[in-house]
Structure 1
Amino acid sequence: LAGLNVERVHGDLRDRKSLHAALTGCAQLYHVAAHYTFWAAEPSIFYEVNVTGTRALLETALELGTGRIVYTSTIGAIGLPEDGRPGTEEIPVKPSQLVGDYKRSKHQAEQEVQKLARAGLPVVIVNPSAPVGERDLKPTPTGQMIVDFMKGRMWACLDTGMNLIDVDDVATGHLRAMERGRVGERYILGNRNLTLREIFKMLSGLTGVPAPRVKLPWQAILPLAHAAHWIADHITHQPPRIPLEGVRMAKYRMHYDCSKAIRELDLPQTPAETALEKAVRWFRDHGYA
């Protein structure tokens, strides 16, 4: 938020009083905040923030009569067909596809949001895929993958796929969901379906770092990921170098059909190469790699 003409109000999704103070007088609400990572020393934080915190925030909005609301869910709350077709907003996610506490908590949160929508809350749900671009401070898991590639840490490529979208297009999708989205509906904010090998090839062209030549099934990395997770849990208490949940997700090609958001929200479709180039430049300019 540095440099933006906005009023900052400090709050905590786990503190209802702070939520009441923050929402008083607001005509619209974008609920974007979440605990987003593949690992946490205390997994309960995913549910405290993403589920209980979401319920508290939206109940407060209902109480105060806040106007329209956009809730940021995740692509992981949308199901993938067994036959390999891209997922759509109408496909329910199977329990086996809810890999990790982040996805499980966001799915539970989305159920809470839909329940409140049925109770009269004017909320629209957006499900971003994998946003890439500038200002990825943490960085996010997708941003960390880009940083690791830039540092030459990617020695193998998993046989999986992702849907990439420019983070600026995700922001525009939120604004248009507020203006045009149908209450209670879900909208996939995504763009291009790519294999991980295709993403690494693009990154190689942008950075000059060679793409890994070895392609492995996700099962081949799983023992290393389990070991890294155990070390993180019991020794370092820091995020593992090989995220177990990330490897488990690689079981599925996370490809999605974004036509509903393109049709109803006029979602922009900036080329994936452009989004990756902006991410690489920002990470390089800010000393990440």
Structure 2
Amino acid sequence: MRALVTGGTGFVGSHIVRALTAEGHDVRVLHRPTSRLDALSDAIYNSALGDILDLDALKAASEGCDWVFHVAAVADYWRADTRKLFDANVRGTQLVLQAAREAGVKRVVFTSSAAAIGPRADGQPADESDPFTLSPAHFPYGFSKVLAERAVAEAVVNGQDIVITNPVVILGPGDLNMISGDFVVKTHRLSWLIPVPPGGVAVTDVRDIARWHVRAAEQGVTGERYILGTENYAYHRWFTLLADVVGVPRPGLPVPAAVLPLMADVIDLARRAGLRLPVDANQTRLGARSIYFQFDKAWQALGAPVFSMRTSVEDTYCWYKDHGFIQENWMTRFFQMI
């Protein structure tokens, strides 16, 4: 098959490119002339210059393709302007779908997010049938994906073949922009200072995500959602795993749920004052929630995960070390000896 990948220069997209070419597919990557191509340095692909907000470029890139993987999005929402977030994630999706339809593409695989689902008020894992339950004002990224999925649903009703994937938090080698890999880097640098909130997170490996996307193109059901994930972790258990793999002390600063709204207000004020922080107020508020999901549907339809989360964290850590993002210091050397 011939496939177009939007967002192919990014973390997830570049792994999808490699997964496709490994199975013999012909891959085209949409990217701007100014895009960094580091993530694709070892990949085989053809370039299509353009932007997801440029309909003509999208139509030209989609011509002759059987599949379009629409991965491009603003994912590092805590660093992004809200207007740009909605332009890319909503309007960009609408234009990609229009271009694919007009170019005669057989199937689109749309990379949404588990952030568009739940969480459930009772803390139980959400599934594909659960609606978005958070305040759009407090979590605009999740809401942007909800709106993008509405555009997908409308296109499916009108006869377009589209499958939706909803990945959870993604780790693995190659996260140049540290979208989620900063979990590992921060643990190495500041493990004993990392506050541990009472909630939890769902995680997975990028290589499984890429393989699941290819399977979704091959055997996913039109109009269906598939939550892509490996395991749910309470934050204390998650940060303990990170610390053990990295070889630093386990974090020991539990944060009561009641404190998180105050912390969020302080972070919000600091960001409004112009301070660049690696976290935003909305992320902090969510720290008290157990953002858990059920993965049965995707595992049954697309296959079970191959990579354990310990392996994923180990490979992420080694990749950052090998590429100079992490430098060993006296503390890590000491704790690795004892």
RMSD, aligned CA: 1.7
Query: Deviation digits for residues 192-229 of structure 1, max 9, x if unmatched?
Result: 11111111111111111112112113441433333333
Equivalent position of 1:224 in the other structure? 263
Equivalent position of 1:263 in the other structure? 300
2:298 & 2:266 partners in 1: Cα distance?
40
Query: Deviation digits for residues 50-105 of structure 1, max 9, x if unmatched?
Result: 00010011011111111111100000111233222211001112243884221111
- Aligned to 1:235, the other structure's residue is in SS state coil
Equivalent position of 2:186 in the other structure? 148
Identity of aligned residues (%): 31
Which consecutive unaligned segments of at least 5 residues does structure 2 have?
1-39, 327-338
The aligned runs of 1:269-284 (5 Å cut-off) are: 269-284=306-321
- Whether the 8 Å CA contact 2:260–2:287 is kept in 1: the answer is no
Query: Deviation digits for residues 159-179 of structure 1, max 9, x if unmatched?
Result: 111111111000011010011
Letter of the structure 2 residue corresponding to residue 188 of structure 1: I
1:3 & 1:269 partners in 2: Cα distance?
22
1:267 shift after superposition: 3.4
1:38 & 1:149 partners in 2: Cα distance?
21
Query: Deviation digits for residues 76-135 of structure 1, max 9, x if unmatched?
Result: 111233222211001112243884221111111111111111111100000001111000
- Whether the 8 Å CA contact 1:218–1:247 is kept in 2: the answer is no
TM-score of the aligned structures, taking structure 1 as reference length: 0.93
- Whether the 8 Å CA contact 1:165–1:269 is kept in 2: the answer is no
- Aligned to 2:48, the other structure's residue is in SS state coil
- Aligned to 1:8, the other structure's residue is in SS state strand
- Whether the 8 Å CA contact 2:59–2:102 is kept in 1: the answer is no
Equivalent position of 2:286 in the other structure? 249
2:280 & 2:75 partners in 1: Cα distance?
13
- Whether the 8 Å CA contact 1:73–1:128 is kept in 2: the answer is yes
The aligned runs of 1:74-223 (5 Å cut-off) are: 74-96=113-135, 99-140=138-179, 142-152=180-190, 154-223=193-262
2:100 & 2:145 partners in 1: Cα distance?
19
Query: Deviation digits for residues 235-258 of structure 1, max 9, x if unmatched?
Result: 24x3x2332121122232111110
- Aligned to 1:163, the other structure's residue is in SS state strand
1:129 & 1:76 partners in 2: Cα distance?
7
Letter of the structure 2 residue corresponding to residue 213 of structure 1: G
- Whether the 8 Å CA contact 1:189–1:267 is kept in 2: the answer is no
1:257 & 1:212 partners in 2: Cα distance?
27
2:59 & 2:272 partners in 1: Cα distance?
36
How many aligned residue pairs are there? 286
2:297 & 2:136 partners in 1: Cα distance?
22
Letter of the structure 2 residue corresponding to residue 64 of structure 1: A
1:194 & 1:143 partners in 2: Cα distance?
16
Which consecutive unaligned segments of at least 5 residues does structure 1 have?
none
1:254 & 1:164 partners in 2: Cα distance?
10
